[in-house]
Chain A
Amino acid sequence: MTDQDRKPALRLEGIVKTFPGVRALDGVSLSVMPGEVHALMGENGAGKSTLMKVLGGLHQPNEGRIFIGDEPVVMGSPMDAKAKGVVFIHQELSLAEELSVAENIYLGQLPRKSFGRVDWTRLHADSDAILKRLNCGFGSGAIVGELSIANMQMVEIARALTVDAKAVIFDEPTASLTDAEKVVLFEVIADLRKQGVGIVYISHRMEEIFRISDRISVLRDGAYRGTLKTAETDEDEVTRLMIGRSLDLSRNAEHVELGDVALEVRGLSCGKLFHDVSFDLRAGEVLGFYGLVGAGRTEIAETLFGLRTPTAGKILLKGREVTIHSPMDAIAHGLSLVPEDRKSQGLILGMNCRDNITLPQVDDLTAGPFVSDGAEIAIFDQYRDRLDIKTPSWRQLVGNLSGGNQQKIVIGKWLSMRPEVLIVDEPTRGIDVGSKSEIHNLIRELAKSGYAVIVISSEMPEVLRVSDRVAAMYSGKLMRIFTADEVTEDNLVQAISGLSENSRVA
């Protein structure tokens, strides 16, 4: 397959897009061949989503042209783009939660009968056919709001399959998928590709990129940095193109002097979600929680943070038993939780960056009866620098930040509370490789300076990299706690699939 004798399915030429105070895209060109998986990479805020939104008709470019085949086109709206064969699967879910799966899949293009009546039979038949192709375990009549995040993602993907697409854009589709769901997604992508559809695939996960892509294009600070053939490159080269340096991706090898026991959990249970969970956590220690989605890790975190009421068991902080009824109690006891879902649990999108970061401690940042501007800005500045948050100023609404920078705001918010026990749930979801290793280093650093940290993650390399000990969970049970020396990828995988029940340690 040579590129010379085939025409691109899609071509972007010299795209410029500015927002107040931000030059998000600075003359970016890109072409996607039919039947090609073209990966788009770059740091958080590099402009990947913006470029795709220009292509998908959500933003109008200030300069530049879009071609489909040989034809220059203007993408007036998302519907327009879809009609021209460009389908966009968003980074953040954009579904109508009250409607059924079928209505969401065909939103805006419901099949009609005479007098404009919706043809429900056809709608559900067509939708079910698509869901079957995606191997989904739910029907077209289900209400979207009642599905898991992963299943919502599948609905979003199903939308792409309703038209005769020339190009499909996936913006970080796997951020909240399980491994099994990922396999299905990759099959769908392979399928589309066989039909000659051009695919743009955005992700921060190198292993995925190298598994499915044909070429990799890199953006940096809104500028095009080059395109590499996947077969002829390696992770290190891509990383250097993205962030200008190489990364240290080794496992955690250091041993920190451990302090006193900060948190003890004894026989904690919460209904059917998890039972009889016991563990200790010392100051200066990072305890990783690894397991499949649904194993009960998030629920343990939520219980510790006062969002759920335990049905049995005890929680001890610094040796004293405590009852935590609400997040307020938890915060007062020196606990922090970086929640799993930044958009619904972590952020107030319509509020500015500074106010989001200082929200949990706004009562303490006062001068007289008023919130002290200076104190707030000082905190914002500190964590913007420490986490390298890209925003034109603290006044920017969080909703206008790139996905990864939003995640950094949530992390900054909880770090600035200087908790004794910090719980982070999927801390690097949607974060670029550079910042990811920064956040890993930060977690290590925090431990070194005496924090007790719990890291919940579905990514094994992440857990192995940051943890001193790893707790393996399976279906609501704590199967085993490994020390860094004991743990291997194999015994970890075994433990989280429920295979090592007999080797369980109390």
Chain B
Amino acid sequence: MADERTKQVGAFLARQGILVAFVLFMIGFALANHRFVAIDNILGVVRSSAILGVMALGVTFVVISGNLDLSVGSMMSFSTIVVLDLHDKLGPALAIPAMFAMTLALGALIGFLVGYLRLNSLIVTLGMLSAIHGLTLTYSGGKNMDIADKAGTWFGGIGRGSVLGIPGPILIFGLLALVLGVTLAKTPFGRKVYAVGGNGTAAIFSGIPRARVVFMTYLVSSFCVATAGLLQASRSLGSQNTVGQGLELEVLAAVILGGASLLGGSGTVFKTVVGVLILGFIQNGLLLVGLEFYVQYVVTWIIIILAVWLDVAAKRGRILSPIA
């Protein structure tokens, strides 16, 4: 019986390995630097992770359905630049929906290519990464974008304000996580996303429109990107046209760290939120310990590669021991 108990604990640790590692890591940093666990530091980490987090929520849908989205970083730059530009031309109340429509159109294009034409998502979204970057540069004429009258607009309130002491970005991240989490876990659409990623052929045999489901996941992803762009623009009220560069990999890393599988069919919104926070705290911790910015990059990526390797190793173990 005691043997059984240790086995169960062992199995739990193996399943939740990343969470356990995270806790140990937090304790380590807290001992090294007391600032790390200060409430304002924690709040700061969550706030600065919120934009990445919002994007990761959408990518979670894409990854569970068995695809990738590497275009979210450059798409976020696009959204940010567009909304800043339109802000001065149309006013914020029109600029925001216009920007959402344009970003969703990009998502729909990717969804069409990957879902209906069944092109490889890695290739399509990698291509879109460049194409959208070019689009952004063309749109902005290569210049940075700034709101002219920064004091006279309510636009900044979204990213800078707070409700009941909760900063806007955290609030929006939290609300979106709740809505999308429930969508994924509780609605027929969510179920279909898992089915398509788990076994696409069996999903089709079950009458699930795989193409449409994949298309929808990219719409969800681009909606999240638009939201992230809005937060970014509103927080800074001005932006470089490369603001989202490289974020696609960090987003993917957060999703995988949370435990979604690159092979599709598994993962949850909650796990992704955990992944986002882990990534945020790792970077913050390394900073507080006094590591140089560029060393941080290396360490972060080592951790991410480790996580992906763990994921693949676990899956491979399963594939080699078929179940019947």
Show the binding face of A for B, using Cβ within 8 Å.
49, 53, 58, 78, 90-94, 171, 307, 326-328, 330-331, 337, 339, 344-351, 355, 359-360, 362-363, 365-366, 369-371, 399-400, 402-403, 406, 413
Q: Is there contact, CB below 8 Å, between B188 and A371?
A: yes
Stretch at the interface among B67-75, B105-113, B192-200, B299-307: B192-200
8 A-B pairs whose Cβ atoms sit less than 8 Å apart in the complex = A53-B321, A337-B205, A345-B201, A348-B202, A359-B203, A360-B207, A371-B187, A399-B323
Chain A residues positioned under 8 Å from B182 (CB to CB) = 370
Known: A348-B194, A350-B199, A359-B203. 10 other contacts (CB 8 A): A92-B323, A92-B324, A93-B322, A94-B319, A326-B209, A337-B205, A345-B202, A369-B186, A369-B187, A402-B324
Is B206 at the interface (CB under 8 A from chain A)?
yes
Chain A residues positioned under 8 Å from B205 (CB to CB) = 307, 327, 337, 339, 345-346
Is B49 at the interface (CB under 8 A from chain A)?
no
Q: Is there contact, CB below 8 Å, between B188 and A363?
A: yes
Is B314 at the interface (CB under 8 A from chain A)?
no
A326 to B116, CA, bound (A): 14
With CB as the reference atom, state the residue of chain A lying closest to B198: A348
Contact of A91 with B324 at beta-carbon distance under 8 Å, contacts A351-B198, A371-B188 already known: yes
Is B151 at the interface (CB under 8 A from chain A)?
no
Choose among B188, B209, B323, B324 the residue with the greatest number of A CB atoms under 10 Å from its CB: B324
Q: Give B188 Cβ to nearest chain A Cβ, in Å.
A: 5
Contact of A350 with B266 at beta-carbon distance under 8 Å, contacts A327-B207, A370-B187, A399-B323 already known: yes
Q: Is there contact, CB below 8 Å, between B195 and A348?
A: yes
Q: Is there contact, CB below 8 Å, between A355 and B322?
A: no
Is B160 at the interface (CB under 8 A from chain A)?
no
Is B265 at the interface (CB under 8 A from chain A)?
yes
With CB as the reference atom, state the residue of chain B lying closest to A53: B321
Partner of B324, one of A328, A359, A371, A403: A403
Q: Is there contact, CB below 8 Å, between B199 and A348?
A: yes
Choose among A78, A93, A326, A359 the residue with the greatest number of B CB atoms under 10 Å from its CB: A359
A91 to B324, CA, bound (A): 7
A35 to B223, CA, bound (A): 67
Chain A residues positioned under 8 Å from B194 (CB to CB) = 348, 351, 355
Q: Give B217 Cβ to nearest chain A Cβ, in Å.
A: 17
Q: Is there contact, CB below 8 Å, between B191 and A359?
A: yes
Q: Is there contact, CB below 8 Å, between A94 and B322?
A: yes
Is B2 at the interface (CB under 8 A from chain A)?
no
A210 to B292, CA, bound (A): 74
Q: Which of B289-324 contact A (CB under 8 A)?
A: 319-324
Q: Give B210 Cβ to nearest chain A Cβ, in Å.
A: 10
Contact of A400 with B323 at beta-carbon distance under 8 Å, contacts A359-B191, A369-B187 already known: yes
A310 to B17, CA, bound (A): 51
Chain A residues positioned under 8 Å from B208 (CB to CB) = 328, 359-360
A441 to B207, CA, bound (A): 27
Instruction: Classify chain B's interface size.
Output: 20 to 34
Is B204 at the interface (CB under 8 A from chain A)?
yes
Contact of A348 with B265 at beta-carbon distance under 8 Å, contacts A307-B205, A331-B207, A359-B195 already known: yes
Q: Give B257 Cβ to nearest chain A Cβ, in Å.
A: 20
**Per-position 1/0 for B156-173, Cβ under 8 A of A:** 000000000000000000
Q: Is there contact, CB below 8 Å, between A349 and B198?
A: yes
Q: Is there contact, CB below 8 Å, between A94 and B206?
A: no
Q: Is there contact, CB below 8 Å, between B206 and A327?
A: yes
Q: Is there contact, CB below 8 Å, between B320 and A347?
A: no
With CB as the reference atom, state the residue of chain B lying closest to A332: B207
Show the binding face of B for A, using Cβ within 8 Å.
182, 186-188, 191-192, 194-195, 198-199, 201-209, 265-266, 319-324
Q: Give B255 Cβ to nearest chain A Cβ, in Å.
A: 17
Q: Is there contact, CB below 8 Å, between B206 and A359?
A: yes
Chain A residues positioned under 8 Å from B204 (CB to CB) = 307, 327
Chain A residues positioned under 8 Å from B192 (CB to CB) = 362
Q: Is there contact, CB below 8 Å, between A362 and B191?
A: yes
A348 to B197, CA, bound (A): 9
Q: Is there contact, CB below 8 Å, between B322 and A92?
A: yes
A399 to B315, CA, bound (A): 13
With CB as the reference atom, state the residue of chain A lying closest to B319: A94
Q: Give A341 Cβ to nearest chain B Cβ, in Å.
A: 9
With CB as the reference atom, state the residue of chain A lying closest to B182: A370
Chain B residues positioned under 8 Å from A326 (CB to CB) = 207, 209
With CB as the reference atom, state the residue of chain A lying closest to B204: A327
Contact of A344 with B202 at beta-carbon distance under 8 Å, contacts A362-B191, A371-B188, A371-B191 already known: yes
Chain B residues positioned under 8 Å from A365 (CB to CB) = 188
Chain B residues positioned under 8 Å from A400 (CB to CB) = 323
With CB as the reference atom, state the residue of chain A lying closest to B205: A345
A359 to B201, CA, bound (A): 13
Chain A residues positioned under 8 Å from B206 (CB to CB) = 327, 359-360, 413
Chain B residues positioned under 8 Å from A402 (CB to CB) = 324
Choose among A53, A93, A331, A363 the residue with the greatest number of B CB atoms under 10 Å from its CB: A363
Chain B residues positioned under 8 Å from A346 (CB to CB) = 202, 205
Q: Is there contact, CB below 8 Å, between A58 and B321?
A: yes
7 closest A-B pairs by beta carbon, nearest first, are A348-B198, A91-B324, A327-B207, A331-B207, A370-B186, A92-B324, A403-B324
Chain A residues positioned under 8 Å from B319 (CB to CB) = 94
Q: Is there contact, CB below 8 Å, between A351 and B195?
A: yes
A349 to B265, CA, bound (A): 10
Chain A residues positioned under 8 Å from B199 (CB to CB) = 344, 347-350
Q: Give B64 Cβ to nearest chain A Cβ, in Å.
A: 11
With CB as the reference atom, state the residue of chain B lying closest to A59: B321
With CB as the reference atom, state the residue of chain A lying closest to B318: A399
Q: Give B318 Cβ to nearest chain A Cβ, in Å.
A: 8
A7 to B208, CA, bound (A): 56
A58 to B198, CA, bound (A): 24
Q: Is there contact, CB below 8 Å, between A328 and B209?
A: yes
Q: Give A417 Cβ to nearest chain B Cβ, in Å.
A: 9
Q: Give B183 Cβ to nearest chain A Cβ, in Å.
A: 9
Q: Is there contact, CB below 8 Å, between B322 and A90?
A: yes
A365 to B191, CA, bound (A): 12
Q: Give B147 Cβ to nearest chain A Cβ, in Å.
A: 38
Chain A residues positioned under 8 Å from B195 (CB to CB) = 348, 351, 355, 359
A366 to B321, CA, bound (A): 37
Chain A residues positioned under 8 Å from B201 (CB to CB) = 344-345
Chain B residues positioned under 8 Å from A371 (CB to CB) = 186-188, 191
Q: Give A23 Cβ to nearest chain B Cβ, in Å.
A: 12
